[in-house]
Amino acid sequence: MSHRLRKRRLVRERDQRSMRQLGVLFALSAAATALFLFSLRQRVELTRLNYRIEELRGKRAALVETQKELRLERSALRSLPRVERLARQRLGMAPAEPQQMLVASDTGAVVAATLPSTAHGRAEPWRVDARQPR
């Protein structure tokens, strides 16, 4: 009989309980690995976004500084003494003479106006060019 047993191949039966435990262990390991990788990805993304935020804060600070400089430059360019100086030097303008000024009767405001000359070279005070400004 021992000879017969040798000729027969021994077949090991699979233990269903062990296979289930192994499957559960594999599934739990896969879930833990997936959770770890998801957590790692989130952490890397958070770090990347923090760097981006710091970069944008630096750019914003530079832009705020540039805006302050431009506002200062604009106010310097708009200053009345500068505008008056440029009007005199570049455009050849001069302050209005008293005979070139008219007083508006409704408001009492002084309006500078150039009175047109007549053929004799003198201005007629009653004739004012009433064209609308463009």
**pLDDT, tens digit, 9 for 90 and up, residues 71-95:** 999 999 999 999 999 999 999 998 8
pLDDT digits (tens, 9 = 90+) for 3-27: 565 666 766 777 888 899 999 999 9
Say yes or no to pLDDT of 29 above 60.
yes
Measured between alpha carbons, how far is 57 from 1 in angstroms, rounded to an integer? 88
* pLDDT at residue 128, as a whole number: 45
Q: What are phi and psi of 117, to 5 degrees?
A: -85, 150
* pLDDT at residue 5, as a whole number: 56
30-42: average pLDDT: 98
Task: Between 39 and 15, name the one with better pLDDT.
Answer: 39
Distances (CA, A) of 24 to 13, 27, 37, 47, 49: 20, 5, 20, 35, 37
Task: Between 1 and 67, name the one with better pLDDT.
Answer: 67
Q: Is 110 helix (H, G, I), strand (E, B) or coil?
A: strand
* pLDDT at residue 112, as a whole number: 56
Task: Between 102 and 83, name the one with better pLDDT.
Answer: 83
Measured between alpha carbons, how far is 78 from 95 in angstroms, rounded to an integer? 18
Measured between alpha carbons, how far is 129 from 113 in angstroms, rounded to an integer? 8
